Structure 1
């Protein structure tokens, strides 16, 4: 319903852009974009810059984009990765994957997209397949760079735990993973209590908090200590944490969400 409403809302704009040929070939119609907000192209370039600067992505790197959506990161990477580089992306929303295969993979064969049918309260209720059992369809120690933006903010702990184990398996020993979270610590909780944070995760559970108790995967925040233990269990560590703009604790944030750089222990 949410995706359909977006298509209807943006239909006049998308139709106009098509008739006037105002939209670039690898930029999807606004009505099809189901993740994030703001300028699709600008956000993709920003994310690529973060990967180059903080995850040390090289033009010949092997990239895995978990929750790749409708190609927000893939599009700018087509102009950065060379023929020795490769990109693999998967997502649970089939329409996004179909669009990427038609508009990106058809031009760049080293860019591949997979639809993975997994249940999620926010994006996919048409299956009973659970993320906690999902095995990434890639061999061990394959990727130099793994990225997840606004993915773990919509996944419950047992699903995140499985994904972290899979990330540790498929990432090269010297590889890096850039992942975004909503993190909770005493300073951030103080911001929420004083009404200074943009979000309020008021429904407390052991190790994590929800924004909406009825739609638990709408937005989820993790206690830093809880997440640290989960990382350690799966053979990962946080090389760096950059707090995002949502909480207000960092005056010059890299992004709206908290950005963590993970490495293999």
Structure 2
């Protein structure tokens, strides 16, 4: 796994170490637990791959790389049809709070019907933000995103496979909103496609579906110009500039194996901290 620490360790607020043995047991339990809710295959709109396996995998990433704690107040931006929420029901304590928001009303409805009645600290809201693929008739422009929560309401916010479907102008809006909602010491976990030199070089092992081409002068890279938001990558340094301009600190940049290099995760991962 290619990992870049972008600040000295002494400058980064630390969180307690996780119990690796318990986490490994928990992810296996999520995979094996037939009583956990799971949508039908034809209703899953959040991408390919095994619903339960991907959720369990990201539970591990959120804890190991992101530092997610069992008692955190959590906001899942782009909660979809509960793929990450379901395994989190087994990790977050009853005293923790989880909110999921998404522009796809059907996904929110499924989560409200199948997750909240059993786990009442898990709540979901439909956000009518416009998106060419997921909510083309949405009333809210992505550049004007403002979520219905008070400042500093959350300890941990994550955006999994969200930035990979947003235009550049909206990325800054989402990160700015995350900063508003994070409590001091809180963390933002983002997955993305970063077009560094290796990714631009197109290694033979790279995922053949992601033949990105730079859009004009950038910073966006697109796979399909006829459906530009189906997969979006960004110039290396694009996220760093936005995050640092907003006064946040990047504690981790971990590059994924989509680009053809060995890594413990597919997409690229940033862990961002609100230090004050």
TM value normalised by structure 1 = 0.85
Q: CA deviation at 1:87?
A: 0.3
Matched residue SS, 1:141: coil
Taking only aligned residues, the RMSD between alpha carbons, in angstroms, comes to 1.7
Matched residue SS, 1:52: helix
Equivalent residue in structure 2 for 1:197, among 181, 184, 206: 206
Distance 1:159 1:165 in 2: 10
Deviates more, 1:165-174 or 1:199-208: 199-208
Matched residue SS, 2:82: coil
**Corresponding residue for 2:137?**
126
Query: Which residues of structure 1 form unaligned runs of 5+?
Result: 1-21
Distance 1:28 1:104 in 2: 11
Deviates more, 1:96-105 or 1:33-42: 33-42
Matched, 1:162 2:173: yes
**Corresponding residue for 1:105?**
116
Decide whether the 8 Å contact of 1:203 with 1:213 is kept in 2: no
Q: CA deviation at 1:165?
A: 0.3
Q: CA deviation at 1:264?
A: 2.0
**Corresponding residue for 1:9?**
none
Q: CA deviation at 1:24?
A: 4.3
**Corresponding residue for 2:238?**
226
Query: Which residues of structure 2 form unaligned runs of 5+?
Result: 1-32
Distance 2:161 2:131 in 1: 13
Equivalent residue in structure 2 for 1:47, among 35, 51, 58: 58
Matches within 5 A, 1:131-150: 131-150=142-161
**Corresponding residue for 1:264?**
274
Distance 1:54 1:175 in 2: 14
Q: CA deviation at 1:23?
A: 6.7
**Corresponding residue for 2:87?**
76
**Corresponding residue for 2:49?**
38
TM value normalised by structure 2 = 0.82
Decide whether the 8 Å contact of 1:89 with 1:112 is kept in 2: yes
Equivalent residue in structure 2 for 1:254, among 251, 260, 264: 264
Task: Mark the CA change 1:54 to 1:25 in structure 2 (over 3 Å): closer, same or farther.
Answer: closer
Distance 1:96 1:145 in 2: 22
Matched residue SS, 1:105: coil
Q: CA deviation at 1:187?
A: 2.3
